[in-house]
Amino acid sequence: MAPEIGELLGGSMVFVLFLTLLAILTHQMLSSYVRKWREMKPIPGISPTYPLLGNALSFKSNGRDFFCQLVEYTNQFRNVPLMKVWIGPVPFLILFHAENIEMVLNNPKHMDKAYAYKFLHPWLGTGLLTSTGDKWRRRRKMLTPTFHFSILTEFLEVMNEQAEVLIEKLGKQAGKGAFNCFNHITLCALDIICETAMGKKIYAQSNYDSEYVRCVYKMSDIITRRQRMPWYWPDFVYYSLGEGKEHNRSLKVLHSFTESVIYERAEYIAYIESDSESDQGTKKRRAFLDMLLKTTDEDGNKLTHKDIQEEVDTFMFEGHDTTAASMNWAIHLIGSHPEVQRKVQLELQEVFGQSDRPINTEDLKKLRYLECVIKESLRLFPAVPFFARSICEDCHINGFKVPKGANAIIMPYALHRDPRYFPDPEEFRPERFLPENSAGRHAYAFIPFSAGLRNCIGQRFAVMEEKVVLASILRNFNIEATQKREELRPLGELILRPEKGIWIKLEKRTH
């Protein structure tokens, strides 16, 4: 009997220990929550706010409606110094004033991405977009040389070739009435990123229905829905009652695509390096993946397959979806403003004359007005409508105390509509970005590629691609937008997209 009593007592002790540990953890979490609640109480916020659930019950479940809701909040609080919302037990500051955003983005203490980014980890791992601390610093330092201007210049050839394929496709639509150009532009961007990032031609433009693109959209929708529903944050709830199965199906498609390309490219590089004669007389194009496969860190260690996978997944998503959306918004705006279109085409005429030659780096420098058009499009429709950071130490923002552990949602979509820096903010005026009109503007008033230490590493790549593709289209066609601005219905998820696409008419230009 004695051993049984001992076992029983031992089991009871374990159970008591477990309950004690659970009570301590619960107490710590509740204490932290109550402390943040008290310290952030003076900051204006939306109502009603419920304990532990916060404002989550007020949020619309549909992505389009939720984005409109956020925009409406920023309009209501435009003249308020700071604004907060609670998503479950987690407090978020909504930042859309340049001076407040600078306080966060310019502070090396607040460089970690917010809690909500953890839902991107199954897809993108902890690559450059989602990593924090030392890992991010090491990775950024390691990857910066791969975006050197000389390497971007090599990518120009690919951009020209894929733009040519796009022009041929668009030519079949010219003179035939309105059509949705969104997918055409997206597949062109996908072809460009696949060849420049991974060294692989996938001929997406020849295959109108891309499973990869469909899964990127589905994944964006699934992740953003989970981010705003705290009851789905615990994995066991999400995979039992939420969209966990759908999430994993899309994830499998996305990962198998990039995995197969990495494997193929690694095999190809190994073959080329072992058989140098086979490559004599031909110019090898470098790809971002080639550099990843050869890159070493400060200690001379190569990246692991997992490291490479997460960076490739990040650049495949960030490098095609954001740029594709930006180009589509620009096409709508150019097609809605004939006087702007004429100015761009006049500039193109001055640079290229009657020639149909590819675009080179010198041409890119001369396309100054086109660059203003791209910037003004990014002001009105930033590809990333909001992003978030974690507040990593107690601080003060605009006179309010903000405790460590709070999160900041930075909203370029609302920031770019600040009438202090952009009078008549809904008007499309590319001249705002001429040097004489930009002088003296707050450095954080326009941040389509984020700002500060964690700004977008690929922004020069993105602007170069936009210039090449938009210039190619406008050298060959006149664009007429067939939607009014209010019909676009922006859908703000991970990327800002028009709900029903971009509908235009094209007319072939005669030189």
Query: Is residue 284 in some structural domain?
Result: no
Pick from 329, 356, 321, 317: nearest CA to 508? 356
DSSP per-residue codes, 387-447 = EEEE--S-EEETTEEE-TT-EEEE-HHHHTT-TTTSSSTTS--GGGGSHHHHTT--TTS--
List CB contacts of 310: < 8 A, sequence separation 6 or more.
124, 125, 126, 127
Residue 24 within a domain? no
CA atoms within 13 A of residue 50's CA, in its CB half-sphere: 7
- Using the predicted structure, report yes or no on whether residue 450 has a pLDDT greater than 90: yes
CA distance 164 to 507: 17
Q: Would residue 303 be called left, alpha or beta, if left means φ above 0 and alpha means ψ between -120 and 50 degrees? A: beta
Identify the pLDDT of residue 214.
85
pLDDT confidence of residue 321: 87
Range of the domain at 56: 33-258+320-508
Torsion angle, CA of 420/425/430/436, rounded to 10 degrees? -10
Angle between helices 305-336 and 338-352 (to 10 degrees): 110
Whole-number pLDDT of residue 282: 47
Query: Is residue 391 situated within a structural domain?
Result: yes
SS3 334: helix
pLDDT at 18: 58
Whether residue 250 lies inside any domain: the answer is yes
pLDDT band at 281 (very low <50, low <70, confident <90, very high): very low
Quick check: 217 and 92 in contact, CB under 8 A?
A: no
Does 188 map to a domain?
A: yes
Pick from 99, 106, 104, 92: nearest CA to 49: 92
How far, CA to CA in Å, does 226 sit from each of 119, 290, 442? Answer: 8, 35, 35
Distance CA 476, CA 455 (A): 34
List pLDDT tens digits, range 54-98. Answer: 888 888 877 788 888 989 999 999 998 899 998 888 888 999 999
Query: How does residue 342 score in pLDDT terms, banded at 50, 70 and 90?
Result: very high
Numbers of helices and strands, H then E, in the chain = 18, 11
Q: Is 188 annotated in some ligand binding site?
A: no
On whether the CB atoms of residues 202 and 194 are closer than 8 A, the answer is: yes
Question: Three-state DSSP class for 63?
Answer: helix
Over residues 394-413, mean pLDDT: 91
For residue 304, being part of any structural domain is answered with: no
Q: Which two tokens stand for residue 355?
A: 């020639």
Report the SS3 class of residue 354. coil
Q: What residues contact residue 344 under an 8 Å CB cut-off, 6+ apart?
A: 334, 369, 370, 373, 470, 474
pTM: 0.88
- 352 has a pLDDT exceeding 50: yes
**Residue at 350 is within a domain:** yes
Q: What is the pLDDT of residues 188-226, one digit of tens each?
A: 998 999 888 888 888 889 877 778 888 888 898 899 888
Total domains present in the chain? 1
In a domain, 285, yes or no: no
Query: What is residue 360's predicted lDDT score, i.e. its pLDDT?
Result: 95
Over the stretch 244-258, which tens digit does the pLDDT of each residue have? 999 999 999 999 988
CATH number at residue 462: 1.10.630.10
Of residues 51 and 509, which shows the higher confidence score?
Answer: 509
- Distance, in Å, from the CA atom of 222 to the CA atom of 203, rounded to the nearest integer, reads 27
CA atoms within 13 A on the CB side of 198: 29
CA dist., res. 177 & res. 247, Å (int):
38
